[in-house]
Amino acid sequence: MTATTDGSTGAALPSRAPAASDATAETTDRSPATPPPAPDGLTGTARQATARATEYLLSLQDPAGWWKGDLDTNVTMDAEDLMLRQFLGISDPKTTEAAARFVRGEQRDDGTWASFYGGPGELSTTIEGYVALRLAGDRPDEPHMARSSAWIRAQGGIAASRVFTRIWLALFGWCKWEDLPDLPPELIALPKWFPLNIYDFGCWARQTIVPLTIVSAHRPVRPAPFALDELHTDPRNPNPPRPLAPLTTWDGVFQRLDKALHAYHKVTPRRLRRSAMRTAARWIIERQENDGCWGGIQPPAVYSVIALHLLGYDLDHPVLREGLASLDRFTVWREDGHGAPVRMIEACQSPVWDTCLATIALADAGLPRDHPQLVKAADWMLDEQIDRPGDWAVRRPTLPSGGWAFEFENDNYPDIDDTAEVVLALRRVEHPDPQRVEDAVRRAVRWNLGMQSRNGAWGAFDADNTSPFPDRLPFCDFGEVIDPPSADVTAHVVEMAADVGATHDPRIRRGIEWLLAEQDPTGAWFGRWGTNYVYGTGSVLPALVAAGIPASHPAIRRAVSWLESVQNDDGGWGEDQRSYKDRDWIGRGASTASQTGWALMALLAAGERDSKAVERGVQWLAATQRPDGSWDEPYFTGTGFPWDFSINYHLYRQVFPLTALGRYLGGGPAPAAVRS
């Protein structure tokens, strides 16, 4: 299902059969054709598709043992990279033009940029995309630029954009720092028990906000190479005051707090401010990873480089030199249709996540457990286990480490979701050193169970990261800034526990109770880190069944009925990112390989192997598979921040269909190859 993509604010009402739009016109036709001929019906068809997909996925493995698909987000990553280079004075024509080719290629006919494939135009994304092209030399009177600026003005102009966009513009004088929300570096000194201390923020927000407090304190302005009057509704009054909410509301309270912080900025004792910035700088530097990045993600690296540069670190200083070098590792180079270089920036890289999911998919598809490539993958994952404490230890100071991060380098922030899936992957491999695997699994399970939140569930990075205050700050309008427990992460922990025989642990029983209580009235579960209710349900059902909840349980039956009700007419499943803000979109969207895989995994776990829904889903996967064993999937089925930051994990379209096909053929997940 798609909605209008003409930049209108109202999305088209979803229908059961996806309609063509300008967002899908260039997409490979994925409507089912006649399934490939097979000697024994659907089972043979599935077997052939599984064999092709297995061969294709094996071909993608790096010689070191890991898998990593590209990670697409939106053009703000590319625009902010160009603005960073402009701010630091390190722009070069080759990089700028290659990035501009990518940004131009993502622009839609109405002049806008969306935050996910097929979605509506998004104001802040469009402003940043426009600025990137201006930096590349595109003139404001060129048709594609004029359409963009007209749309921006119609949406309220720069004044209506998010805080982060206006921070970038303030660096060049296109916005006034005085008109932006303030966040002082003295925040770093708040004790851990105090409201709004930095550990009340989710790890991704924490790593971003600490350097931005330094930037906010310095309020730097580097001369802009051009004006942006065309992006204001009224250039004479570019930032009209926003109305204050009543003081009786939290929004009103925090708006007035921001006014107080602006007043504090003018009278802050210099010695106190210098001390706070030194503490913040030390905090930043201590968290730089071995490869020079921060947290394995691009945004904290960008802001940390700016902050330290403002504090006097020159670009040849080892910290900044390695930080800038790390940003180059987020770069994906491609060629356009004319052979010209195109440069895309990944917000993050996902080798641990991709490797454990690929290992599970291949094992469940019947690849021998001692296959050399599975053993190599296990060796690589074992080497990536983290054996030192990170920021999570602030709330769990006595808990021994043992988790895995999402990225190549991110020892400070292992995450609970990856750790659960790595355990499931390792236990599927027949490793030549089983004791090494058992020891790693034991440490991982102990760490994961120890990260349970008070409500019985699990978040992604921290325990009990549920403060209601950070979201209220006017500064924090860029998406999720806390890390509360979610159904998908909790389900993966429960599934891991079932695999190691720990379902009777009281902590797991509480997790199961929490999951049952969290079921949506529709019968689905909300998906925090994948889109959305299809992902949540595809995560929870296999976990509950693995933990001993019978397929006849009312919660399981409600979920099965919901999945059957949202199956598309073509036999696949899909869900648009708009379901995060509009319940009419729940379970509705163009069929995708990854989401069809999730739905099938859930139905198979619930004992529905011989159902018509499963048969049609398997047929859709087989019919839409490419000859090389891959699937096409332009749609974004991953989630960074619900609605605000969407992700297309390029390996999702390979691992989840293969997992589903393997479980269809094998009767369920592959049993563990190592003892508990």
What DSSP letter does each residue of 504-555 carry, written as one string?
TSHHHHHHHHHHHHH--TTS----SSBSSHHHHHHHHHHHHHHTT--TTSHH
Residue 300: name the closest of 322, 279, 327 by CA: 327
Confidence of residue 507 (pLDDT cuts 50, 70, 90): very high
pLDDT tens profile 172-198: 999 999 999 999 999 999 999 999 999
Q: Decide if 554 contacts 530 (C-beta within 8 A).
A: no
Per DSSP, the chain holds a count of helices (H) and strands (E) of 22, 5
Question: What percent of the chain has a predicted confidence (pLDDT) above 90?
Answer: 84
pLDDT tens profile 295-307: 999 989 999 999 9
| Residue ranges with strand state E in 337-454 | 341-345
CA angle, corner 572, sides to 570 and 576, nearest 5? 110
SS3 for 465? strand
Alpha helix positions (H), 136-202: 143-154, 163-170
SS3 for 7? coil
Q: What value does the mean pLDDT take over residues 122-134? A: 98
Q: What value does the mean pLDDT take over residues 385-413? A: 96
Q: Decide if 30 contacts 630 (C-beta within 8 A).
A: no
Give the C-alpha separation, 319 to 129, whole Å: 29
Residue that wins the pLDDT comparison between 237 and 519: 519
Nearest-10 Cα torsion for 562, 565, 566, 571: 130
CA angle, corner 157, sides to 152 and 160, nearest 5? 120
Confidence of residue 675 (pLDDT cuts 50, 70, 90): low
Question: What percent of the chain has a predicted confidence (pLDDT) above 70?
Answer: 94
Count of beta carbons in the 10 Å neighbourhood of residue 656 = 31
Give the C-alpha separation, 530 to 367, whole Å: 27
pLDDT tens profile 522-549: 999 999 999 999 999 999 999 999 999 9
The predicted pLDDT at position 32 comes to 43
Residue 613: name the closest of 604, 605, 622 by CA: 604
Give the C-alpha separation, 401 to 404, whole Å: 9
Confidence of residue 26 (pLDDT cuts 50, 70, 90): very low
Residue 649 phi/psi, 5-degree rounding, is: -80, 115
Enzyme catalytic residues: 417
For 79, counting Cβ atoms within 10 Å of its Cβ (0-12 exposed, 13-18 middle, 19+ buried), the class is buried
Q: What value does the mean pLDDT take over residues 623-637? A: 97
Q: Decide if 343 contacts 99 (C-beta within 8 A).
A: yes
Give the C-alpha separation, 383 to 401, whole Å: 14
The predicted pLDDT at position 645 comes to 93
Location of structure tokens 């190599």:
376
Average pLDDT over all residues of the chain: 92
Residue 313 phi/psi, 5-degree rounding, is: -75, 120
SS3 for 437? helix
Give the C-alpha separation, 345 to 332, whole Å: 6
Q: What value does the mean pLDDT take over residues 306-318? A: 96
Location of structure tokens 């989630």:
639
* Alpha-carbon distance values, 244 to 212, 261, 475, 478 (Å): 24, 16, 15, 20
Q: Decide if 674 contacts 437 (C-beta within 8 A).
A: yes
**pTM assigned to the model:** 0.92
Residue 14: name the closest of 526, 640, 568 by CA: 568
Alpha helix positions (H), 316-384: 318-328, 351-364, 372-384
Give the C-alpha separation, 166 to 314, whole Å: 25
Q: Decide if 373 contacts 61 (C-beta within 8 A).
A: yes
Q: Decide if 597 contacts 534 (C-beta within 8 A).
A: no
Q: Is the pLDDT of residue 74 over 60?
A: yes
Q: Is the pLDDT of residue 9 over 80?
A: no
What is the set of domains in the chain, with CATH numbers? 72-238+247-345 (1.50.10.20)
pLDDT tens profile 434-452: 999 999 999 999 999 999 9
Q: Is the pLDDT of residue 12 over 80?
A: no
Q: What value does the mean pLDDT take over residues 211-235? A: 94
Half-sphere exposure of 396 (CA within 13 A, CB side): 23
Give the C-alpha separation, 308 to 278, whole Å: 10
User: Please, what sign has the CA dihedral across residues 146, 152, 157, 158?
Assistant: negative
Q: What value does the mean pLDDT take over residues 121-129? A: 98
Q: Decide if 363 contacts 670 (C-beta within 8 A).
A: yes
The predicted pLDDT at position 290 comes to 92
The predicted pLDDT at position 236 comes to 83
Residue 663 carries which side chain, given as an amino acid letter? Answer: R
pLDDT tens profile 197-210: 999 999 999 999 99
Q: Is the pLDDT of residue 28 over 70?
A: no
Half-sphere exposure of 492 (CA within 13 A, CB side): 28
